[in-house]
Amino acid sequence: MLGFNNNKGTVTLAKKEEQLAWVLLLPTFLIISFIVILPLIAIFWISFKPISLSDLRPPKPIIKERLKGKLENSGDKAEVHYRIRNSSREQIINNVKFVDAIPTGLKVYDLDARCQIYQRKLSCNLGNFKGGYREVLKLQITSEDIFFINKILPKETIPKITGKSENVLTSLNFSLVNFIKIFDRDEFFQVLFVTLFYTVFGTLGALLFGLFAALILNSNFRGQGIFRGLFLFPYVAPVIAVAFTWVLLFDPFSGSINALLIQMQVIENPINFFGKRPLALIMVTVFEIWRYFPLSFLFILARMQSIDDEMYEAAEMDGASPFQKFWSLSIPMLLGILSILFLLRFIWTFNKFDDIFLLTGGNAGTRTLTVNVYEQAFALSNIGAGAAVAVIIFLFLLFFSILFFKFISREEGL
């Protein structure tokens, strides 16, 4: 009985600790949901709505009042112009009304049929405004003696206008127009091919060069720390600095690379490295490899230095060649970190925007899906299409991650 009670007390204590842990973790979950999940939901929401940047604000009627003419003496005539318009070029505003105060001493005549005056309060029912609707409503007025005592001009009173409209962004009307437009174009599949080429070769190249660099610097020699620091330069340098350096070096008119190749008689005419298909795509991929191989180098070198040297000594005593030691001992020990690096680099490269945008601006056949998101959302002001492309990127990376963890990581024991 005593043992049972002890076990029961232990279980109860464990449950209380588990509940306390969940309570302590709740703020973290809420912060993560706010930072990650809510923006993701917003992107999915916008992707099903054919909206532009101008539609982010709900449509509303706008009115501006202006006095035409001078009121200096009793009996002077003038006009009050109300400039009214729909702020949206596409959305309809229903039941538009506005009210304004008529200053004392001003008499209104020739009143618009849609307006009426009661106790010096002007109210107008203008009906429905279609997209892009504009109108100038004119009010004929004349001054009386009492007006010059207070002298409150019509433009000094502020008209109030109201109307009912549907905000496309917050409405529950959804559409597949954005996705249909994207998949109907052959251009999308070209962009997808460029993205996959850039991602796959950029990721594999960064891993291979990182592996070679780690093999070179895994042994002890004089100046090892200096070389390791130099190898990290492409990754730690500001991207805008190294990108413009590459553009200047490979410039067809003033670049050092073209001048050197011509002087060595390798080429006769300058080559436009970043402005010619398919060379531009190859160049941005090479830049991706050069810039991000140091990250792979750091992780692989750290894993190499954790491998026990006794295995290599035993293999050497058995007569194994350097290649056999590398293939049979190093590679199996590195497969775990290589798999993780491949997953991370694939996702990061697939989402990469700044490198390509700085090097080519997405021209000469280097437009990836992320560049397409920017062009759709901001260059063309089609925010719905941009969100649709972003959703496609997310779904593709989600599918890739599932396959990775289901097949590749299972083989590596991750």
Please check whether residue 191 is in contact with residue 368, taking contact to mean a CB–CB distance below 8 angstroms.
yes
If you average pLDDT over residues 402-406, what whole number do you get?
86
Predicted local confidence at residue 370, as pLDDT:
93
CA distance 324 to 337: 20
Predicted local confidence at residue 61, as pLDDT:
92
* pLDDT(134) > 70: yes
CA distance 181 to 187: 11
Burial degree of 10 (CB within 10 A; 0-12, 13-18, 19+): exposed
* Assigned CATH for 61-165: 2.60.40.290
CA distance 326 to 331: 6
* pLDDT(2) > 50: no
**pLDDT-based confidence at residue 304 (cuts at 50, 70, 90):** confident
Whole-angstrom CA distances from 101 to 145, 155, 226 are 19, 10, 79
Predicted local confidence at residue 373, as pLDDT:
92
If you average pLDDT over residues 229-251, what whole number do you get?
91
If you average pLDDT over residues 13-21, what whole number do you get?
81
**pLDDT-based confidence at residue 156 (cuts at 50, 70, 90):** low
**pLDDT-based confidence at residue 3 (cuts at 50, 70, 90):** very low
Location of structure tokens 């200047």: 248
Predicted local confidence at residue 75, as pLDDT:
85
If you average pLDDT over residues 162-179, what whole number do you get?
86
* pLDDT(167) > 90: no
350 in helix, strand or coil?
helix
Top pLDDT among 13 and 355 is at: 355
Quick one: what percent of the chain has pLDDT higher than 90?
40
How is the chain split into domains, by residue range?
2-47, 61-165, 177-412
Predicted local confidence at residue 290, as pLDDT:
95
Q: What average pLDDT does the structure give for the chain?
A: 86
Predicted local confidence at residue 281, as pLDDT:
95
User: Per CATH, which fold does 177-412 belong to?
Assistant: MetI-like fold (1.10.3720)
* pLDDT(284) > 90: yes
pLDDT in tens, 312-345: 778 878 778 878 888 888 888 888 899 999 999 9
Predicted local confidence at residue 155, as pLDDT:
60
* pLDDT(347) > 80: yes
Predicted local confidence at residue 158, as pLDDT:
85
CA distance 406 to 30: 29
Spatial neighbors of 401 by CB under 8 A, at least 6 apart, are 343, 347
CA distance 342 to 330: 17
Prediction pTM value: 0.77
CA atoms in the 13 A half-sphere facing the CB of 304: 22
Top pLDDT among 243 and 307 is at: 243
If you average pLDDT over residues 375-398, what whole number do you get?
90
Burial degree of 212 (CB within 10 A; 0-12, 13-18, 19+): middle
Top pLDDT among 125 and 307 is at: 125
**Residue 63: closest CA among 93, 90, 91, 103:** 93
What token pair was written down for 219?
Answer: 């042994």
- Cα angle for residues 14, 16, 19 (degrees, 5° grid): 110
**pLDDT-based confidence at residue 410 (cuts at 50, 70, 90):** low
Top pLDDT among 242 and 168 is at: 242
If you average pLDDT over residues 236-247, what whole number do you get?
92
**pLDDT-based confidence at residue 4 (cuts at 50, 70, 90):** very low
**pLDDT-based confidence at residue 50 (cuts at 50, 70, 90):** confident
The distance in angstroms from the start CA to the end CA of the chain is 44
If you average pLDDT over residues 245-250, what whole number do you get?
93
Please check whether residue 383 is in contact with residue 373, taking contact to mean a CB–CB distance below 8 angstroms.
no
* pLDDT(52) > 90: no
Predicted local confidence at residue 137, as pLDDT:
92
What token pair was written down for 349?
Answer: 């490269």
If you average pLDDT over residues 265-270, what whole number do you get?
88
